[in-house]
């Protein structure tokens, strides 16, 4: 469903020629209908992996496909919903307009949009604020608008880069419920998070990445050894001497 095969990516930092190897031969497969949690410390390579899947970053090496099509294939985009790490929108738009433009560019009809927009905005708690320009929104409200934009075209694959970030407990519960709904609808969800609690609640499988390398991947109830917590496993997995996966 979502496949990353041997992806490597090196960035050059600023004007200096210092190289940062953001991803090193990353390989990851996510099956249809799976909720996959991508964990890793700051700078691990989570957002870079996600941007490769969205064809926003070209890898130096390797191949990424979604629904058996290369991620550069334009047909893929309509089947994918994406919430960026720091959503930024034209802030003179209001939430209704944001979803209108997003939905239309994903091929939705005007009727379909008129029907779906209010329900989705209600779901993310923005129905009352929907006529206000996004520049008047709080950080959490922008995040909710971004989520609605990711979901308006009913994509088969939903990719969320830290969907809980900046949200209060009510907002986090709302995102959690949305993810569980997507799961029940049979959607494939790939999300990154630092919040281990959330990962534990929603994910079928997890992957732990550090220093651009996948340290561990597997079913949540199988990878955490008896007597160990996910936090303990996470801290061990990101340590340099972790022998979880061959590099």
Interface contacts to ligand ATP, rule CB under 6 A: 11, 13, 20, 22, 40, 42-48, 85
Q: In this complex, which beta carbon is closest to Mg ion, that of residue 85 or of residue 154?
A: 85
Nearby residues of 15 by Cβ (< 8 Å), 6 or more positions away: none
Q: Are 99 and 148 in contact (CB under 8 A)?
A: yes
Helix (H, G, I), strand (E, B) or coil at 7: strand
Instruction: Report the residue from 23, 24, 36, 47 that binds Mg ion according to the rule CB under 5 A.
Output: 47
85 binds Mg ion (CB under 5 A): yes
**Interface with Mg ion in residues 17-46 (CB under 5 A):** 46
94 binds Mg ion (CB under 5 A): no
Alpha-carbon separation of residue 58 from 7, 22, 161, 239 (angstroms): 10, 12, 18, 28
Q: In this complex, which beta carbon is closest to ligand ATP, that of residue 3 or of residue 21?
A: 21
Distance CA 102, CA 98 (A): 6
Question: Shortest gap between Cβ of 138 and ligand ATP (angstroms)?
Answer: 21
Q: In this complex, which beta carbon is closest to ligand ATP, that of residue 15 or of residue 119?
A: 15
Question: In which residue are the tokens 């309509």 written?
Answer: 78
Q: In this complex, which beta carbon is closest to Mg ion, that of residue 46 or of residue 116?
A: 46
HSE-CB of 112 using CA atoms within 13 angstroms: 12
**Closest-approach residue to Mg ion (CB):** 47
Considering CB distances under 5 to 8 angstroms, the limit depending on partner class, which of Mg ion, ligand ATP, none binds residue 128?
none
- Computed on alpha carbons and rounded to an integer, the radius of gyration of the chain in Å comes to 18
Q: In this complex, which beta carbon is closest to ligand ATP, that of residue 65 or of residue 192?
A: 192
DSSP 94: B
Question: Shortest gap between Cβ of 46 and Mg ion (angstroms)?
Answer: 5
Binding site for Mg ion (CB under 5 A): 46-47, 85
């Amino acid at each position: 469903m979502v496949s990353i095969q041997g992806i490597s990516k090196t960035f050059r930092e600023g004007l200096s020629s210092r190289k940062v190897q953001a991803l090193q031969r990353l390989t990851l497969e996510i099956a249809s209908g799976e909720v996959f949690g991508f964990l890793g410390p700051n700078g691990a390579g989570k957002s870079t992996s996600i941007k490769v899947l969205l064809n926003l970053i070209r890898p130096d090496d390797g191949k990424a496909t979604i629904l058996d099509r290369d991620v550069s294939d334009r047909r893929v985009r309509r089947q994918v919903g994406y919430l960026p790490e720091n959503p930024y929108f034209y802030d003179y738009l209001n939430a209704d307009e944001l979803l209108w433009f997003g939905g239309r560019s994903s091929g939705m009809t005007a009727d379909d949009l008129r029907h779906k927009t209010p329900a989705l905005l209600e779901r993310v708690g923005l129905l009352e604020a929907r006529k206000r320009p996004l520049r008047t929104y709080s950080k959490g409200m922008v995040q909710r608008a971004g989520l609605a934009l990711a979901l308006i075209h009913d994509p088969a694959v939903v990719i969320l880069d830290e969907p809980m970030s900046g949200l209060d407990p009510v907002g986090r519960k709302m995102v959690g419920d949305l993810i569980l709904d997507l799961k029940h609808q049979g959607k494939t969800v790939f999300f990154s998070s630092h919040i281990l609690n959330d990962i534990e609640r929603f994910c079928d499988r997890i992957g732990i990445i550090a220093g651009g390398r996948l340290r561990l991947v597997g079913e949540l109830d199988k990878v955490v050894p008896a007597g160990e917590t996910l936090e303990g496993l996470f801290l061990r997995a990101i340590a340099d001497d972790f022998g979880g996966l061959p590099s």
